[in-house]
Amino acid sequence: MPQDTKILSVADKRKLAQQLLSQRKAQAIKNMEEVELPDYTRYTYDMFMFGSSPEPSEIEHFDDWVQATLDDHTYTFEVPRLQAQLPENDIYRASNEKIHVVNLSSYNYLGYGYHPEVIAAAKAALDVYGLGAASSPVASGTFGLHKELEQRLVEFFGLPGRGVSLFSSGYGVNSGTISAYMKQGGHIVMDRSAHMSILEGAQLSKCTPHYFRHNDVDHLEEILKGISQAGETRVLVCVEGVYSADGDYSKVGRIVEVAKRYGAKILVDEAHSMLLVGPHGRGVCAEQGVLEEIDLLVMTFSKAFGGVGGALFAPRKTTQYINWYAKCRMFSCALDPAVTGGILKSLELASGADGDERRQRLHVNAEFLRNQLRGQVNIGTSESWIVPVIYGPEKYTLPLSDFVQRSGLDTSVMQFPAVGKNESRMRLFVTSEHTTEQLRRAAEIILCAAEKYKFALNHQ
């Protein structure tokens, strides 16, 4: 850093940080070019996405690619496990190899996915209600248990006049809500790092999409100003609470202030922050004091709740409308009973002393892991329990994740189109249940991989 950093303006500091980051990225790509790779690593996800021939030849080409990676024993996706998402796990690779791993690949952040009381509650619900809801929630698929969960969530947030819409997937909450709430002619302004379910909701709505630079409130304002100058229309700003790709917190307090100034509505997806931060785990919006001002608050049950499904928390008249007009809710089966019973128990535990204890452990664990890696590999802007290790080009994904798995660590790989090209990363999801020894072991494996694949920062 130059000696005169202190007298730089905020904008200059940001510019400088961006310059340093892109220099690092360019250097990392150059370093990696020196590693020898098999031919199939040249292919990227988008190459098999399109096709216009009468026969769907892209399916054949994709199969060729999968077969080549299987033959080379580097296919690390859809690897079965025969246990719950525990902090350590056995995974079974296609070649029938059993590998013991530290599991930093699941977002079972508080360990409720296998908590004995949660499992007992799920079993009890299964006994009463059976396996499936066997109907759309608007028709005959709503059970007493669903109503109880809605009520408990409203009490959890403690805001009058609010309601809850339950969905059978978190993905559906975003895609269904956005496409029902926003109509053709409107504008949807999304953070560049927003999740695919938000992007797809925007596509389905037929509104004009806009993207602002990640967490850049000034850029958001510029876009909102441009839209407002073109006349009055409905505008929705979409952000996440904690970003699933970057592991940083949304500047939601300032974003709400700007959005409201331009008359825009705001959706916050707290998939990776609900139950994990804020008073009694009420999330980032509650922590930043803007919960009441959020028009559409999204949560998933697949992360800290340890189950599956999701919910919209919004003014009651809005959730009532969404219940009917979100197509993936209206035309799909209701949340399954056992999971609903389990989620009720997770919510009860998480909002009390058990949750406070687990959150405390989670935050300590996350900081420990970040400290093990910071300055040695690129962990981007992470400040939470999601720690991305950004290695860059897509072609390293398979050999690298194969090496890491075989060394005893399971991670969640993310690459284009989930993130930009040359921004591929292994995400490490820390949980409250990991021990320091497991996290230290995981960090050692990452640092060893960084040396082998030349993305350690000291290579630059």
Ligand X SMILES: Cc1ncc(COP(=O)(O)O)c(C=O)c1O
Footprint on this chain of ligand X (rule: CB under 6 A): 169-171, 174, 195, 197, 240, 244, 269, 271-272, 300, 302, 310
The least distance separating ligand X from the CB of residue 111, rounded to whole angstroms, comes to 17
Total Cβ atoms within 10 A of residue 186: 18
The least distance separating ligand X from the CB of residue 437, rounded to whole angstroms, comes to 28
Total Cβ atoms within 10 A of residue 131: 9
Structure tokens given for 223? 């876009």
d(CA 428, CA 419): 16
Structure tokens given for 358? 């687990």
- Point out the residue whose Cβ comes nearest to ligand X: 170
114/368 with CB nearer ligand X: 114
The least distance separating ligand X from the CB of residue 308, rounded to whole angstroms, comes to 6
163/310 with CB nearer ligand X: 310
106/405 with CB nearer ligand X: 106
The least distance separating ligand X from the CB of residue 75, rounded to whole angstroms, comes to 22
Residues with Cβ within 8 Å of 280's Cβ and at least 6 positions away in sequence, in order, are 156, 350, 351, 352, 355, 356
Total Cβ atoms within 10 A of residue 161: 8
The least distance separating ligand X from the CB of residue 109, rounded to whole angstroms, comes to 12
244/432 with CB nearer ligand X: 244
Strands in 234-381 per DSSP E: 235-240, 265-269, 296-300, 310-315
Asked if 268 contacts 285 with a C-beta cutoff of 8 angstroms, the reply is yes
- β 310-315/296-300 pair status: antiparallel
237/456 with CB nearer ligand X: 237
214/454 with CB nearer ligand X: 214
The least distance separating ligand X from the CB of residue 238, rounded to whole angstroms, comes to 10
The least distance separating ligand X from the CB of residue 21, rounded to whole angstroms, comes to 23
305/403 with CB nearer ligand X: 305
The least distance separating ligand X from the CB of residue 296, rounded to whole angstroms, comes to 13
The least distance separating ligand X from the CB of residue 426, rounded to whole angstroms, comes to 15
* Alpha-helix residue ranges (DSSP H) falling in 230-352: 252-261, 284-287, 316-325, 327-330, 337-350
The least distance separating ligand X from the CB of residue 243, rounded to whole angstroms, comes to 8
103/300 with CB nearer ligand X: 300
252/456 with CB nearer ligand X: 252
The least distance separating ligand X from the CB of residue 198, rounded to whole angstroms, comes to 7
The least distance separating ligand X from the CB of residue 374, rounded to whole angstroms, comes to 23
32/271 with CB nearer ligand X: 271
171/385 with CB nearer ligand X: 171
17/196 with CB nearer ligand X: 196
